[in-house]
Amino acid sequence: MTGVTLFPIGRVTVIRGFGAPALACASVPRAAQINSPFNRWTTSLINRAWDKIRARGAVNWQHPLARKYGSMGEGSYQAFPPGDCTNPHAIHIGRNCFIGAGVTLAVGMPTEVYAPDHEPVIEIGDRTTIGKNCWFVARHSIVLEHDVTVAPNVYFTDHNHTYADPWLPVGQQVLQGKPVRVGTGTWIATNAVILPGTTIGANCTIAAGAVVRGDIPDHSVVGGIPGRVIRRWTREEGWQPPFTEPVVVVEGWPVGVPPEDYVPPENYVPPTPA
């Protein structure tokens, strides 16, 4: 750095040069400080402790804390630390589900109290995986059917503030909502937003960052803002537009079968309704 002089003073570095007044800024801790025996020990201790806390803090379907939900099916668990959760008795989680760390499951506004026998508002189907830091904000109905995969940081809501009144702050205006439903086998990529009134069909792919509203047919690929169907499979035409490169299935990888050709195994357990 020609013409510039650095004066390290403790954890502050004074920068002087080019006739400019002295500039003090916090320096990055020296490698030697980070690598000192004491720091190595404390860093290892903190990380080991955090790993144990995360493992021990997870809540599975057998834990007493799972009873706060309307139901949590066998084999399901919620990672630690959990996100915010309101009116959990109106949240129903199917079997063999995974709820990632920091997932917010909010039924109603912060001051709304739903009756103990209220019908389900958030329903998560069997074998559904929800990545960390997703948000479910529901007042009416958000349903994920079976085998849905949700990447981190996806936002679901079934209501919004209106903005028709030009003088009242939007945050104080009346709420309007419509139910949301995501079809079985659908994949939703990171940072997507699912808006009120959305119905996504079966085995759809929602691209990262898409903002989705309205009815999405089965076997659709949706991308963009606003989200639109950019590819779709039908029995008559297959995938349109066609794939530019063939998808090579690795030997031993499972292959789907049409519903009419599916023969369940002897130990098959029907999924719980979603």
220-270 pLDDT per residue, tens: 999 999 999 999 999 999 999 999 888 888 888 888 878 777 666 666 666
Contact 171, 153 (CB under 8 A): no
Q: Is the pLDDT of residue 19 over 80?
A: no
Q: Residues with Cβ < 8 Å from 230, sequence gap 6 or more? A: 207, 221, 222, 223, 224
Q: Quickly state the pLDDT bin for 58 (edges 50, 70, 90).
A: very high
pLDDT digits (tens, 9 = 90+) for 124-157: 999 999 999 999 999 999 999 999 999 999 999 9
Annotate 206-236 with b (16+ C-beta within 10 A) or e (fewer). Answer: bbeebbbbeebbbbbbbbeeebeeeebbeee
pLDDT exceeds cutoff 80 at 118: yes
DSSP secondary structure of 143-178: EE-TT-EE-TT-EEESEEE----SSS-GGGSPEEE-
Superfamily of domain 59-243: Hexapeptide repeat proteins (2.160.10.10)
Residue 71 C-alpha from the chain's centroid: 20
pLDDT value for 271:
61
Retrieve residue 178's tokens: 């419509």
Closest CA to 146 of 169, 124, 165: 124
The pLDDT mean for the chain works out to 87
Residue-level pLDDT at 43: 86
**What is residue 111's predicted lDDT score, i.e. its pLDDT?**
85
- Integer angstrom CA distances of residue 161 from 104, 106, 109, 172, 212: 19, 16, 12, 8, 17
The residues spanned by each domain of the chain are 59-243
Q: Using the predicted structure, report yes or no on whether residue 40 has a pLDDT greater than 90.
A: no
Q: What mean pLDDT do residues 77-98 have?
A: 95
Write out the DSSP string of 50-62: HHHHHHHH-EETT
Query: pLDDT digit string (tens) for 154-190?
Result: 999 999 999 999 999 998 999 999 999 999 999 999 9
- Residue with tokens 């002089």, as numbered in its chain: 5
Confidence of residue 112 (pLDDT cuts 50, 70, 90): confident
Q: What's the rounded Cα separation, in Å, for the pair 188 and 168?
A: 35
* Number of Cα atoms under 13 Å in the Cβ half of residue 172: 5
pLDDT above 90: percentage of residues in the chain: 66
| pLDDT level of residue 4 (50, 70, 90 thresholds) | low
Rounded Cα distance between 142 and 14, Å, is 55
Q: What confidence score (pLDDT) does residue 41 get?
A: 85
* pTM of the predicted model as reported, rounded to 2 decimal places: 0.81
Cα–Cα nearest to 205, from 226, 192, 187, 229? 187
pLDDT 10s digits, 45-55: 999 999 999 99
Structural contact between residues 182 and 143, judged by C-beta atoms closer than 8 angstroms: yes
b/e per residue 130-157 (b: at least 16 CB within 10 A): bbebbbbbbbebbbbbbbbbbbbbbbbb
Alpha-carbon distance of 2 to 18, in angstroms, equals: 9
